[in-house]
Chain A
Amino acid sequence: MASGPESMGSVRMMPNGPGAAAVLAAGMGCFAMGVLSVLEDKLPALARLLNIYRPTGPLSGLSTAVIVVWVASWTVLYSCWKRRNVNLGRAVTIAIGLLAAGALLTFPPIDDLF
């Protein structure tokens, strides 16, 4: 997805990599919420594992795991792309696709299909 540095005339533009990293990581975080909510519902062992704060139940571990996935993917993508220009259109399309898929997976009637 990465390409060389971009410039517009004599004005050097900011690299788009940091923006692409943030957008893609947000999509990954939302998708992780969708996938983990389905898995937690179907796998009692995973639900028990995610129960890290008893009053809140498995939601405590699930939301913590999602935040870890989101922040870790943002950190890795940022460190790889901070000075680069990447295919922004592709990154945005993938991020919005992940966001939509994650939102659908959290909807209980769709969760019940699995």
Chain B
Amino acid sequence: MDLTTHGFWTMVHGMGFGSLYLLSCSFAIVELSRRYRPQSSISVADEKFLGTWLVAMAVVAWITVLTGAYVIYPWYRAVPPAGAALAAFPQALLKSSLNTIEWHAIGMEWKEHIAWFTPISITMAAAVFVHYRGCLRDYPQLRTAVLTFVIVSCGTAGVAGFFGAELNKHAPVDGGGTIKLIQGSGR
């Protein structure tokens, strides 16, 4: 049982940081919507926790897009030398068949751009929250904007995650060295 290093880092990017981001969205959305209505209340400790949570989400979002763009994407878009087997070149493999070309033309083309909405949106939301905290209740429009951008960040992360998973299913990013997990026992 083994993994390739490219496959491992793709998993860290998507199933690690990407999934962690998506999982963290629901708490932020629920807390921002129920605790910052006019006349609602939140303890100082909970408010501090929510602020830390949003900042952590921003850090995770940046790590996810940066590893995607600068670690995984170069492996995905590598150009195969003439006569090479396309299995090691995901973009070329997808573009080689009419049955899979749209996974690249729509899936990757959309994912590589829309994914950047996530860190921009959540960084703004975290910065505004940390600046205003309880005063957000005094500005319902600002609270609506923060909540909208957090929901959008979740949606754009979802689009990127969905296409990332499907792309990797149709043309896995694989290669590099081998990480051996368990030696077969012949059972």
Contacts and interface: CB of A to CB of B under 8 A. Distances in A.
By CB atoms of chain B within 10 A, which of A53, A56, A109 has the most?
A56
A26 interface: yes
A89 to B, nearest CB: 5
Prevailing SS type, chain A contact patch: helix
A56 B120 CA distance: 20
Prevailing SS type, chain B contact patch: helix
A63 B121 CA distance: 14
B113 A106 contact: yes
Interface residues of A, number: 39
On chain B, which size bracket covers the interface?
35 or more
Interface string A57-77: 101101100100010000000
A88 B128 CA distance: 13
Interface in B92-140: 105-106, 109-110, 112-114, 116-117, 120-121, 123-124, 127-128, 131-132, 135, 138-139
Interface string B145-163: 1101100100010000000
Interface string A95-111: 11001001100111101
B74 A56 contact: yes
Given A26-B120, A30-B121, A109-B106, A95 B73 contact: no
Contacts of A89: 141
B152 A99 contact: yes
B69 A92 contact: no
Given A25-B124, A33-B116, A62-B113, 18 more contacts: A14-B132, A14-B138, A19-B145, A22-B124, A22-B128, A23-B145, A26-B149, A53-B70, A55-B74, A56-B73, A56-B77, A59-B112, A63-B69, A88-B139, A88-B142, A95-B145, A103-B152, A107-B114
